Structure formats: C-alpha cells, structure tokens
Chain A
Amino acid sequence: MAPPVPTASLSVTELACRRGGRRVFDGLSFSVTGGELLALTGRNGSGKTTLLRALASLGRAESGTIAWAGADIAWLGHLDGLKGDLTVAENIDVAERLRGVVPDKTRLEAALASFDLTALAARPVRTLSAGQRRRTALARVASSRANAWLLDEPLNALDAPAQAALRAVLATHLASGGLAIAATHAALEIAGARVLELGARDARGELGA
C-alpha cells in the first residue's frame, strides 16, 4: 500500500485574468481542498482554460491571488502533451522523469490497465487514434503521484467506456485525498462535485452544488 500523499489545498482570492487584450473574468474567489472535485463550466470563451492555466502558473493573472499549499500538480491541457514518436509507455515514463520523479512500474501498469491501454503500451503514440491518445494522457496523470490534478476538457474524444474509466480513476484519486479541478463542457457526473460557472464578461464566480 503506497504511503499517503500530503493533502493539497488551493485558495483563490479576487482573481482577474485577461486574454487577448480583454478581461475574461474578475473577482473570482473560491477554495478547493483534498478530496474535492471542482468542475469549471461555462460557454466557449468564458475563460475556463485561462483560469486553469493561471492556477497552474502557466498563465499570468492580472490581479488577485492564487495560493497553493502542499500541492504537487499534474496537468492535462487541451493538447495531449505526448511525443508522437515515443511509445505509450515511454511517454508516461519520461513524463514522470521530467518531473524529477523515479517512475514506479506498478503504478504505470495500473494506470495503463485502468484506461485499457496495456495492449497498446508499445505502440508509438502517433499511430493511435485521438481517443487513445487522450487516454494515454490521462494515464500519465493517473500514474503520477501528484495530489492536485488540473484537467482541461478531460472527457474530450473519449468514448463511453473511457469516460467510465476516467470517472473511476477520478473517484479513486479523490478518495485518497487528492484534489481535482476540471474544465469541462460535458457533465462529469461525479457525486459531490462542486461547480463553478464562468459567465461571459464580468463573471463573479458563485459556487453551486
């Protein structure tokens, strides 16, 4: 049994971000802690990706604060972040090494199995379909020991079995104390998920059940 990971927590205060010269949201305040899933919803262009990138420190916020505590972040962006000429297994392995972590073979194999990728482990990623690549990227996140997952449209390109696999993996992650923030169009259908809807212009984030 793996040792428990430290719990991450996030506290966001009065966050405002611009994209392409216009402000996408401001006055955003919320907090997330271990075991919680926060779903970011809203129309296209409402700033879900911008918010997620700002939380990951990939993008810059215009004002406000983002305070992480004890967080080891795993990122799933709009793009898969996979190298086409490497195999599925190699991609996940090198991704862990780039985080400065020695990859754990059992975790890797378990993650591949959860997303039904065991048979594809030795295939170069460029030969896979979009859905298979997305599953590989998700397996990368799942096999890491990160306690904070930031996922941008994780359900994209996934068929029904894959979506079920994602929900199962998410549930396990949350149960072991990890937190997850996911920007999504489609419903994640996970019990207890909080929803933050980003509106069009000056969105003031209201947390709903």
Chain B
Amino acid sequence: MTAFTALFLRDLRLVLRRPGDVVVVLAFFVVATTLFPLGIGPEQNLLARIAGGVLWAAALFAALLSLERLFASDYEDGALDLLLLAPGALELAALAKCAAHWIVTGLPLALLAPLLGVTFGLDGKSLAAVALTLLVGTPTLSLIGGLAAALTLGARRSGALLALLALPLCVPTLIFGTGAIEAVATGEGFTVHIAILAALALMALATLPWAMAAALRQAGE
C-alpha cells in the first residue's frame, strides 16, 4: 500500500465514521434544487430548459460546502505537519485528499442529479447527459475547491473567501457542463462539450496539485 493509497483510504474511513457530514451536503443539494421549481412555478417547458443550469449550480454550491473542511481538520489537529513531513510528494497527498473528497461528494452528486432531473421533466437522454457531465466535471470542482481550501487555511472569513476564490475558477466547467446538457436537449451532439470538460479536468489535474502543495507548505510555515 503506497502512501497515496493510505491517505486516500484514511480520509474515506474518516468520512465513513461521520456519514452525517456527507448526508448534509447531499441533502443541501436536494433542497437547493427543489427550491427552483417551487419558486419559478411548475411550467414544464421552462423547468426542462433551466434544469441543467440549476442542477450544475446546486452541485457546485454543495461541493463548495464540504470543501472548507478538506484541509482544515488536518490543519487544526496537527496532522498537516505529518503530511508535510512525509517523504512522498506533497502533490500526491493533495491529490489523494481531493480524490477522497470527490468519491464522497462529486460522485454521489453526479448519481443523485439525474433523479432530481426527473422532477424537472428531463427526458432520458438529457438525464444521461446530466449524469455524465457531472461525472466528468466534478473532479475539476474538487481540485479547484481543494486549491481554494489550501489557500485559505487559517485565514479570516475562510468560508466566504473560499467561495470567492473557487467560484470564478469553476465558471468554465459550469459553462461547458450546462452547455453539454443544452446541446443534448436541442439535438446537437455534445461530444465537443464533454471533450472540453475532460480537457479542463486534465488541465486541473496537471497543474493544481502543484499549486495546492505550494499553498499547503505556506500554511505550515
């Protein structure tokens, strides 16, 4: 078992011991999404048109909710020092934590969203698009959010600051995610959008672990 796997499994185990934390995030997602049909009215055509955007925006906010604790608990109990001292690459450690975060946040959101999409009157193809775009796009959100979390460790108003930093950086992913869902609804192919979502994810994977590691080292100093 490598250090990466050990950290990944440790974080998963920690979440499993406090399942309430995950449930709260998913519950928020459900509640936030349901607000829109309630607020806008039951007109099916309108709901179907905004479904993609609403689901994506709500998923983004839900993911952000849980990101604040990503590095904060290690920072507060001193475990971050041990991560900084570990012989392996800090970049991998950051990646392991983001991966664990995605498994318990992004992945469930991607699976839950199509169920909510039904209440918006989306058809089968659109529901599949919702799930697929979120599956491909949420890893990027975990990475960007991870960077924002690492940058704001120990800062004042870290929650609001995290959102201020992460949301603008997440905008491209949001745009192409919702664009893909729209493209399916209008009958055009969505391959281009998915390809760009995947490219964004790869770019994030190739750059953000280094930025996160740099930010974590600053936090340790």
Contacts and interface: CB of A to CB of B under 8 A. Distances in A.
Interface of A: 53, 56-60, 73, 75, 77-86, 90, 94-95, 97-100, 102
B91 to A, nearest CB: 15
B98 interface: no
Q: How large is the interface on B (under 10, 10 to 19, 20 to 34, 35 or more residues)?
A: 20 to 34
B78 A98 contact: no
14 contacts: A58-B84, A58-B221, A75-B82, A81-B78, A83-B77, A85-B14, A86-B10, A86-B13, A90-B13, A98-B6, A98-B10, A98-B83, A100-B86, A102-B1
Interface in B1-59: 1-3, 6-7, 10, 13-14, 17-18
A82 to B, nearest CB: 6
A77 B77 CA distance: 10
A84 B82 contact: no
Closest 8 CB pairs between A and B?
A: A79-B78, A97-B6, A81-B78, A85-B17, A100-B3, A94-B10, A81-B79, A77-B78
A51 B121 CA distance: 63
B88 interface: yes
Contacts of B2: 100
Contact of A56 (B7, B10, B13, B85): B85
Nearest to B79: A81
Contacts of B221: 58-60
B220 A82 contact: no
Interface string B81-97: 11111111000000000
Contact of B86 (A77, A90, A99): A99
B126 to A, nearest CB: 40
Nearest to A60: B221
Nearest to A19: B221
B76 to A, nearest CB: 8
Contacts of B82: 75, 81, 95, 98
B85 A58 contact: yes
Nearest to B93: A98
Nearest to B16: A85
B220 A98 contact: no
Given A59-B221, A99-B86, A99-B87, 20 more contacts: A56-B81, A57-B85, A58-B81, A58-B84, A58-B221, A59-B220, A79-B76, A81-B77, A81-B78, A81-B81, A81-B82, A83-B73, A84-B77, A86-B10, A97-B6, A98-B6, A98-B10, A98-B82, A99-B3, A100-B3
